């Protein structure tokens, strides 16, 4: 029996001060297909086949990102469960159904074959100074614009360190779970 993966990323944007209109909210399920929900904190059930290319996996997770009131940094917590050999996780720039360049690291790079993981994978804060690839030397507003346009996603990569790659869960260096950032 194939299990469903429960994976979501929630991005909440705070207003700079009271009386200011609420900033946009984002819902980010870890899949290759944009999924909107009426409640930005609700969970979305996903299958590994939403990765690009599709993956059969029971992995699940959640990442919570919050843009600072001044819009210059993002704090995050990345939680992953039922996943093996996580080597890295990022925000990428690219539309749903297509792979894109890494814009900022959320976790790793760590050695292959790390084994089972269940729980908090990483937490921290990043700024535009941490951007690489398509966002290198650009301001935070560039990432926020990509998210607003639906052109950013979160991806968690795995590798067991044994050739060949892509043999099954825990061995998908191109990504095992993914979620397109969707403006609510």
The mean of the pLDDT values for the chain is 78
Tokens 């074959």, located at residue: 113
Check pLDDT > 50 for residue 20: no
Contacts 24+ apart (CB under 8 A), 100-103: 100/134, 100/151, 100/153, 101/133, 101/134, 102/132, 102/133, 103/131, 103/132, 103/133, 103/134, 103/135, 103/143, 103/146, 103/152
Check pLDDT > 60 for residue 39: no
Extents of the domains making up the chain? 5-183
Q: What percent of the chain has pLDDT over 90?
A: 48
Beta strands in the chain (DSSP E): 5-13, 25-29, 45-46, 60-67, 73-84, 86-93, 101-108, 116-127, 152-158, 177-180, 182-183
Check pLDDT > 60 for residue 3: no
What average pLDDT score do residues 75-81 get?
86
Q: In the structure, what pLDDT confidence band is assigned to residue 77 with cuts at 50, 70 and 90? A: confident
Question: Over the stretch 145-158, which tens digit does the pLDDT of each residue have?
Answer: 998 888 988 889 99
Sequence-distant (≥ 6) Cβ neighbours of residue 174 within 8 angstroms: 53, 99, 157, 166
């Amino acid at each position: 029996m194939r299990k469903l993966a429960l994976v979501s990323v929630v991005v909440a944007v705070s207003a700079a001060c009271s009386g200011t209109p609420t900033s946009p909210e984002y819902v980010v399920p870890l899949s290759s297909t944009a999924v909107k929900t009426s409640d930005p904190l609700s969970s979305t059930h996903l299958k590994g086949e939403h990765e690009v290319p599709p993956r059969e996996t029971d992995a699940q997770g959640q990442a919570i990102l919050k843009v600072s009131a001044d819009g210059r940094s993002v704090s995050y917590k990345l939680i992953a469960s039922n996943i093996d050999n996580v080597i890295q996780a990022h925000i990428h720039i690219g539309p749903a159904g297509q792979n894109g360049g890494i814009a900022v690291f959320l976790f790793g790079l760590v050695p292959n074959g790390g084994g089972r993981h269940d729980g908090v994978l990483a937490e921290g804060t990043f700024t535009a100074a941490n951007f690489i690839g398509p966002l290198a030397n650009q301001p935070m507003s560039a990432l926020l614009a990509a998210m607003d346009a639906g052109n950013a996603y979160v991806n968690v990569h795995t590798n067991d360190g044994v050739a060949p790659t892509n043999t099954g869960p825990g061995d998908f260096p191109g990504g095992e779970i993914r979620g397109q950032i969707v403006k609510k």
